Amino acid sequence: MTDPTLEREALEAGVREPPQVDGFDPGATEVRRLCTVLVGPTWLALDVDMVDEITKLHDSVTSVPGAPDYVPGIMVLRGRPLALLDLRRYLELPDSRDEDMEDRVVVVSVPDMRVGCICDRVGGIERVLESRLRVPDAVQGKRLTPHVDKMFEHEGGLAFIVDLPSLLNAAKT
Amino acid sequence: MSAMQLVTSWLGRVRWLIGLDLPRAVSVGHALGEGQGAAVDLSQVFGLTRPPLAARVVEVKVAARRLHLVLGEAASICAVSSSDLHAAPRSLRGAMAKLGLIGLCFSARESSFGYLLDRQRVASRVHA
């Protein structure tokens, strides 16, 4: 079932309409709903059920003393603290942003943790048939490799499906 | 909605609000004077740059002894609503706990968070 809040906020954030997939059956259980995000040169795909919302990166980020460089700090989101994780820095991916790109924060929840993942761009919500998924031969970035199990063709390249609980637990301080 | 009183101070260039619960603070906000070499400078503990003239000392009790903590400018007492107090985010709990930071305090005026300090853990870290 589509989350109207997420899709509305994704559209407000400038992402495109979810594309239709050939042979797509909305009731089919073998369809995965994924939120695609661009991190450096790499497309990642996050399970939509773990994505709460998409927002802009605020100016007032409170630094955390002693935190690694991939933790830029804590952002205020509706009066509550949200720890930030710079995915590009954590995954050690190269910076390939265009000048006009604005950082986006994808707020994700996994058991016991809610984190704002900073990415370069939000692609949209994809409905991907399981039959399109493949096991990757190689993944760019050694830090990304343990958290990826499947990939699919996306935007003329590849998108890697991220195991969010695994990644966030590895990145926590 | 209950409130608690905190000794608060800005610390360093980044203006981190550091909070200490009041009941065990003995004196608040006097300037750093001569003969206070045993004071713990929190800007050094946290790796911050503090303007030298902005030093204010808060004397707190830790167990049976008194500890001088050097804070930054505008050390003062303020009432904080419990709704503005938050636990450390789980993903940052380790990094914050190492420095004795046990939670966060939201400042609506600054639209940012300050840190709540556990004086006993700061003391144990300094004297370890």
Q: Residue A26's pLDDT is what? A: 54
In order of A10, A38, A101, B109, the CA distances from A98 in angstroms are: 20, 12, 5, 34
Q: Residue A127's pLDDT is what? A: 94
pLDDT band at B7 (very low <50, low <70, confident <90, very high): confident
Rounded CA gap, B100 and B95, in Å? Answer: 9
Q: Is B49 on the interface with A (CB under 8 A)?
A: no
Domain ranges of chain A: 4-18+30-55+86-171
Q: What is the ipTM of this complex?
A: 0.73
Q: Which of B18, B83, B91 to mutate to test the interface with A (most CBs of A within 10 A)?
A: B91
> B69-111: per-residue pLDDT in tens?
777 777 777 778 888 889 989 999 888 888 778 888 887 777 7
Query: Strand pairing partners for A151?
Result: A134, A160
What is the pTM (predicted TM-score) of this model?
A: 0.79
Q: Which of A57, A69, A76 to mutate to test the interface with B (most CBs of B within 10 A)?
A: A76
CB contact under 8 A, B95 and A76: no
pLDDT band at A11 (very low <50, low <70, confident <90, very high): very low
